[in-house]
A = this chain, B = another copy of it.
Amino acid sequence: MSEYIELGFAKLDIERVKRRGYCEAVFCESKSDEQLVKIFQAFCDTGANVIGTRCCDKQYQILKKHFGSLLTYDKLAKVVTLVQREVEKIGEVAICTGGTGDIPVALEAALCAEFYGSNVKKYYDIGVAGIHRLFDKIDEIKKANVVVAVAGMEGALASIIAGLVDIPVIAVPTSVGYGASFGGLSALLTMLNSCAEGISVVNIDNGYNADYSANQINRLIEGKR
């Protein structure tokens, strides 16, 4: 059916890369240094752009030795990108956070969405405890094609936004919180049970996946894949 590169410990999808011009994100966390370099090299050799998530600083330093200035790294978001050909950014994705602690997850989403070809606008710390901060921004948010709502603790941000806009909302629960937040479970359940319509949810702290869906929708709305 489909082509892939066989590395033994991994089988890299190449057909999609060729079709799309970029690879799926490399989840760096569970990879050894050697595996990581081999994967980046293999994708790089195809001429594609490469993106790695949950990449710690130590891993970045090792990648840097091999790929040098091709790489860009954001320490807070733990995202590394290797860009060989420019991707035109189109449309708009609005990325919102409930609080300051949700910013790393939001940033992961933002960097990935830009990597895949979406314009991004960020709205931080507009959570429900002080709802006027959200109202100040809502008209601007409405201009986007998709909203990504990132929130921990009680995670009510997505519900409020979905009640105010007519565009899809991708909700990302974060593990910010303590006690009965149970590592993000509280925010996850809130988002799944939202009584506002138009929300779909991704895994806890999974900024990447939210952005992937958001970018996909954004580009389709703009008439491109």
Given contacts A179-B204, A190-B154, A220-B221, contact A160 B160 (CB under 8 A): yes
Looking at the complex, which of A8-16, A41-49, A66-74, A82-90 is the stretch in contact with chain B? A8-16
Write out the residue numbers on chain B whose beta carbons fall within 8 Å of the beta carbon of A119: none
Contact A195 B159 (CB under 8 A): no
Write out the residue numbers on chain B whose beta carbons fall within 8 Å of the beta carbon of A200: 170, 200-202, 209-210, 213
Kindly state whether residue A59 has any CB partner on chain B within 8 Å.
no
Contact B159 A128 (CB under 8 A): yes
- Closest chain B CB from A60 CB (angstroms): 19
Given contacts A100-B9, A124-B9, A175-B179, contact A155 B202 (CB under 8 A): no
Complex Cα spacing A114 to B220, Å: 21
Write out the residue numbers on chain B whose beta carbons fall within 8 Å of the beta carbon of A187: 193
Write out the residue numbers on chain B whose beta carbons fall within 8 Å of the beta carbon of A181: 189, 193, 203
Write out the residue numbers on chain B whose beta carbons fall within 8 Å of the beta carbon of A164: 131
Residue from the set A11, A132, A191, A204 with the largest chain B CB neighbour count within 10 Å: A11
Known: A11-B126, A170-B200, A180-B193. 20 other contacts (CB 8 A): A9-B100, A10-B100, A10-B125, A11-B124, A13-B133, A31-B100, A31-B101, A35-B100, A128-B196, A129-B197, A131-B131, A154-B189, A154-B195, A155-B190, A177-B193, A179-B184, A180-B204, A199-B209, A199-B213, A217-B217
Identify 23 residue pairs between A and B in the complex whose beta-carbon atoms are under 8 Å apart, listed by A's number.
A1-B132, A2-B133, A9-B103, A10-B125, A11-B126, A11-B133, A20-B166, A98-B195, A99-B195, A129-B197, A130-B163, A131-B131, A153-B194, A154-B155, A166-B216, A168-B216, A178-B205, A178-B206, A180-B204, A181-B189, A190-B190, A197-B213, A217-B220
